[in-house]
Amino acid sequence: MLKSEGVKRVAVIGGGLAGLSAAHRLIELARERNEAIDVTLFEASSRLGGLVGTEQIGGYLVDTGADSFLTNKPAAVGLCRRLGIDGRLVATDARYRGALVLREGRPLPIPEGFQLLSPTAIWPVITSPLFSVWGKFRLLTEWFVPSRQKGVPNSAAGSRTSTGSEQAMIVDESLSDFVLRRFGREALDRLIQPLVGGIYTADPERLSLAATMPRFLEMERDHGSLIRASLSKKVKKAKKGTTSDRTAEDDPTDSSSGARYGLFAGLKGGMEDLVGALRAKVESACHVRLNCGIFSIAAHDCFEEDASKSEASQRYLLKRSDGTEESFDSVVVAASAVRMAVILESLDPKLSSELRKFEYASSAIVVSGHRLSDIRDPLKAFGLVIPHTEGRRIIAVSFSSRKFPDRAPADHVLLRTFVGGAMQPELCEKTDDQIKQIVREELAEILGVQGEPDFMRVVRYPGAMPQYVVGHLDRVARIQELTNQHVGIALAGIACTGVGVPDAIASGERAAEAVYG
Same domain, 430 and 449: yes
The reported pLDDT for the residue numbered 171 is 80
**Rounded Cα gap, residues 365 and 459, in angstroms:** 5
* Residue type for position 243: T
> What's the pLDDT at 446?
98
Residues 126 and 245 in one domain: yes
Q: How far is CA 491 from CA 22, 31, 454, 476, 480, in A?
A: 10, 23, 42, 11, 9
What is the per-residue pLDDT for 517? 80
Give dist(CA 47, CA 293) in Å, integer: 12
For 240-244, the CB contacts below 8 A with 24+ separation are none
- The whole-number pLDDT of residue 173 equals 93
Q: Structural domain tally of the chain?
A: 3
Residues 312 and 247 in one domain: no
In this prediction, residue 211 carries a pLDDT of: 93
The CATH number for 206's domain is 1.10.3110.10
* Residue 422 · residue 499 · CB < 8 Å: no
> Which residues of the chain have a pLDDT value below 50?
1-4, 151-167, 242-255, 258, 303-312
Question: CB–CB of 16/49 below 8 Å?
Answer: yes
The predicted pLDDT at position 467 comes to: 94
Q: Give pLDDT, residue 243.
A: 41
Which strands make up the sheet holding 294-303, listed edge to edge?
A: 294-303, 312-320, 325-328
Task: Tell me, yes or no, whether 381 and 404 share the same domain.
Answer: yes
Characterize the bridge pairing of strands 8-13 and 37-42.
Answer: parallel
What are the strands of the beta sheet with 89-91, ordered from one edge?
A: 69-70, 264-267, 89-91
Residue at 152: amino acid letter? V
Answer whether residue 199 is part of any domain. yes
CA nearest 120: which of 234, 285, 258, 281? 234
CATH of the domain at 319: 3.50.50.60
Same domain, 284 and 251: no
Question: Angle 501-516/74-83 helices, nearest 10 degrees?
Answer: 70
CA 225 to the chain's CA centroid = 27
> Which phi and psi (to 5°) does residue 177 adopt?
-60, -45
Q: First and final CA of the chain: distance in angstroms?
A: 22
Domain that holds residue 445: 54-95+360-466
Same domain, 290 and 156: no
Taking residue 312's Cβ as centre, other Cβ atoms within 10 Å add up to 11
Residue 348 sits in the same domain as residue 426: no
- 389 and 292 in one domain? no
Residue 100 lies in a domain: no
Query: Residue 66 contacts by C-beta under 8 Å, 6 or more apart in sequence?
Result: 51, 52, 271, 500, 501
Measure Cα distances from 207 to 199, 274, 472, 493 in Å: 12, 30, 9, 19
Within-domain flag for 108: no
Enter the DSSP assignment of 148: S
User: Do both 401 and 511 map to the same domain?
Assistant: no
Q: Is 146 exposed, middle or buried (0-12, 13-18, 19+ CB in 10 A)?
A: exposed
- Is the same domain home to 174 and 218? yes
Where do the H-state alpha helices sit in 109-223? 123-127, 133-140, 175-182, 185-187, 193-200, 209-212, 214-223
- The answer to whether the CB of 48 falls within 8 A of the CB of 290 is yes
Q: Do the domain assignments include residue 106?
A: no
Domain boundary at 451, 466, 481, which?
Answer: 466
Is residue 157 a part of any domain in this protein? yes
**pLDDT tens digits, 485-501:** 999 999 999 998 888 89
Provide the sign of the torsion angle of the four alpha carbons 447, 448, 453, 459, taken in this order.
Answer: positive
Please check whether residues 161 and 42 belong to one and the same domain. no
pLDDT computed for residue 169 by the predictor: 62
Residue 62 in contact with residue 415, Cβ under 8 Å? no
327, 368: one domain: no
State the pLDDT at residue 422. 94
Question: Does residue 70 fall inside a structural domain?
Answer: yes
Nearest CA to 272 out of 451, 503, 51 is that of 51
